[in-house]
Structure 1
Amino acid sequence: MSETTEKKSLGPHFLIAGIILVVILAIVFWPSDEKPDPVETPKPQIDEPVITESDEPEVFETKPAPPTVELEEKDEVEPLPELEEPEPEPLDVSDPAIKESLINSASADESTVNRLLVNEGLLQRFVVSVTNLANNKMAPNHQLLTPPEQNFRVYSQAGKQWIDAASYKRYTPYVNVLESFDNEALVNVFQTYKDDIQAKYAEIGDPDKDFNVVLLNAIDELLDTPEVPVPVEVYSDSVMYKYKDERLENLDGPQKQLLRTGPDNMRRIKAKLREIKALIEQNGLN
């Protein structure tokens, strides 16, 4: 397809980028406050000596105690120098460090994850994307992943235009990476950078609002996307393609974008998001 066709697609945004990073940093899995019961250390048993009649008590010579040394008033005792605790190394919030943490959290091929993730502004892009998702909006200038190489495609049949299944398949590599992330590893990534995430959100949102709440709202926005049968009919208004079904066209931007990933990919994405949401709710953070 030509570049013109791609520009006429259902919005030049890549919501899947926001979805994957939402999942990567959304798992707010707080450590338990429970501590194990203290272990009692058994007292050593000392065998009492057995004294017989033939045993004679041992005689010990007592030595005179050493003379007491009294300090004169002018004598001063120098205090021991205080040991300074080493300062913790500052957290590396650079893009290469964050990207490496994310790559190490996935079982997918390292080169694939590295290729799909953008190289700059990861935390800033994530916070902006999640904030916009929670407000039912898109963040077109803050993509978190590189765009698909293939163009959006449609086909004509019976005088109507339908979304080509090939358009859905171009998102499958992103979903494969999404499913490859290990939840426990993602917990560590979020816990590592959560203070910086909250600080960035305070700059663009409500400084008194917990970013976790915003994150849950973004997840709910995506989970509320309806599932529709294929093929899906679209039409062109000379600028872009739109859904023929008004109920779909009237959906929020993020939900319409999620529909573009196709029914199979959308089910897989939703399954992962439900898993993440369940972990959050189990820990009382909802």
Structure 2
Amino acid sequence: MIDTRREPTFSPSRPVEPRKRRRSSSTTAPILVALLAVAAAVAGWFWMTREVPVVRTPPTVSEPQAEPETAAAAQPPALVPAPAEAMVKAEDVRGALMQLLGRDAVLQFLETTDFPRKAVATLDNLGREHAPVSAWPVLPAPGRFLVAASGSSQVIATENAMRYWPFVAFVNSIDAAQAVELYRRMYPVLQQAYRDLGFGDRSLHQRVFQVIDVLLATPDPAQPPKITLTEVKGPIPSAQPWTRYQYDDARLERLTAGQKMLLRMGPDNRKALKLKLEEFRQQLLQASAAPSRQ
């Protein structure tokens, strides 16, 4: 389905100009923010346009699912740890975000309550079948998902992309090198949040690479994808019928949640975010050591 109301793997729980970037490493945005800015662009803004209330309860943990085949890849390089004195504590995350992005931008786009847990849950779910909106560390945007007629079929309306561009521009304004530097400084907090979600000793850093590669592998259809509103039989009509669209092309319907979200945003926005993801990936490689032998 393009959008789903199924029970999630993790059930938790307008545009502004970003502040001019400072060059101090203490004011950089973490790579999770960058990835989740991408995620916000492809989910927080591209998916949560159905006016769903923000759920502010913390995530509950279920048994982690097996990795999708699309996420399988060679083991990525290990992250080079930041000096102990440079590490960012959990209570300092909100301030670090506001220092770089500006208070208005953070309040406009992000849900900073329990941000590390929501961030890593969302990141992980982008590479899975479902990415529950209740876990997103981003705030919902007004409006709804738009469709258009194409002969006897329906397609994703090109007008959707116009609403999403301001946030794509926001993502592109993030300095990738600075983002990775703060990611290194925040990593112990993020890894602990990943562990608390039930992933044990699995490496969040490896998962970051896996999810980036999954998103970069998103296909680029030559035409807007055709979609169908699935029928739900029963005496009570759906209050939110727009949540039941699925792709007519079975190959697209089998994509991960993150890939489906990227399809919804339109080709120009998708291209811009893929280029930014490539930039983040290169910076991550530069901040990493040789592949771990563990």
Q: TM-score of the superposition, structure 2-length normalised?
A: 0.63
CA contact (8 A) 1:25 1:189 kept: no
Q: Which residue of 2 aligns with 1:284?
A: 289
Measured at CA, do residues 112 and 187 of structure 1 come closer, stay the same or move farther in structure 2, by a change above 3 Å? same
Counterpart of 1:129 (choices 118, 122, 126) is 122
- The higher radius of gyration belongs to 1
CA contact (8 A) 1:128 1:139 kept: no
CA contact (8 A) 1:138 1:254 kept: yes
Secondary structure, counterpart of 2:118 in structure 1: helix
**Do residues 273 (structure 1) and 285 (structure 2) align?**
no
Measured at CA, do residues 198 and 89 of structure 1 come closer, stay the same or move farther in structure 2, by a change above 3 Å? closer
Secondary structure, counterpart of 2:133 in structure 1: coil
Measured at CA, do residues 217 and 146 of structure 1 come closer, stay the same or move farther in structure 2, by a change above 3 Å? same
CA contact (8 A) 1:153 1:163 kept: yes
Aligned-residue identity in percent = 24
CA contact (8 A) 1:105 1:182 kept: no
Q: Which residue of 2 aligns with 1:99?
A: 94
Measured at CA, do residues 112 and 249 of structure 1 come closer, stay the same or move farther in structure 2, by a change above 3 Å? same
Secondary structure, counterpart of 1:234 in structure 2: strand
**Cα drift, residue 188 of structure 1:** 3.8
CA contact (8 A) 1:172 1:265 kept: yes
Measured at CA, do residues 266 and 11 of structure 1 come closer, stay the same or move farther in structure 2, by a change above 3 Å? farther
**Cα drift, residue 29 of structure 1:** 7.0
CA contact (8 A) 1:175 1:269 kept: yes
**Cα drift, residue 32 of structure 1:** 9.6
Counterpart of 2:197 (choices 198, 204, 208) is 204
5+ residue gaps, structure 1, are: 1-7, 14-18, 34-87
CA contact (8 A) 2:177 2:283 kept: no
**Cα drift, residue 275 of structure 1:** 1.1
The letter of the residue matching 1:122 is F
CA distance in 1, matches of 2:144, 2:163: 8
Measured at CA, do residues 169 and 11 of structure 1 come closer, stay the same or move farther in structure 2, by a change above 3 Å? farther
CA contact (8 A) 1:25 1:190 kept: no
The letter of the residue matching 1:260 is R
**Cα drift, residue 217 of structure 1:** 1.0
Measured at CA, do residues 279 and 209 of structure 1 come closer, stay the same or move farther in structure 2, by a change above 3 Å? same
**Cα drift, residue 89 of structure 1:** 12
**Do residues 23 (structure 1) and 20 (structure 2) align?**
no
**Do residues 120 (structure 1) and 113 (structure 2) align?**
yes
CA distance in 2, matches of 1:196, 1:284: 20
CA contact (8 A) 1:21 1:144 kept: no
Within 5 Å, give how 1:210-229 maps onto structure 2: 210-229=203-222
Secondary structure, counterpart of 2:166 in structure 1: helix
CA distance in 2, matches of 1:89, 1:191: 9
**Cα drift, residue 207 of structure 1:** 2.7
Deviations 1:67-112 (A, max 9, x none): xxxxxxxxxxxxxxxxxxxxx8996523xx4233123334xx6523
Measured at CA, do residues 234 and 20 of structure 1 come closer, stay the same or move farther in structure 2, by a change above 3 Å? farther
Measured at CA, do residues 29 and 23 of structure 1 come closer, stay the same or move farther in structure 2, by a change above 3 Å? farther
**Cα drift, residue 162 of structure 1:** 1.9
Within 5 Å, give how 1:215-254 maps onto structure 2: 215-238=208-231, 239=241, 240-254=244-258
Secondary structure, counterpart of 1:105 in structure 2: helix
Measured at CA, do residues 261 and 89 of structure 1 come closer, stay the same or move farther in structure 2, by a change above 3 Å? closer
Q: Which residue of 2 aligns with 1:262?
A: 266
5+ residue gaps, structure 2, are: 7-30, 39-77, 232-240
Count of residue correspondences: 215
The letter of the residue matching 2:226 is E
The letter of the residue matching 1:99 is R
Counterpart of 2:172 (choices 142, 167, 179) is 179
CA RMSD of aligned residues (A): 3.4
CA contact (8 A) 1:9 1:152 kept: no
Q: Which residue of 2 aligns with 1:140?
A: 133
**Cα drift, residue 213 of structure 1:** 0.7
CA distance in 1, matches of 2:194, 2:2: 31
Secondary structure, counterpart of 1:171 in structure 2: helix
**Cα drift, residue 278 of structure 1:** 1.6
> Which is richer in helix?
2
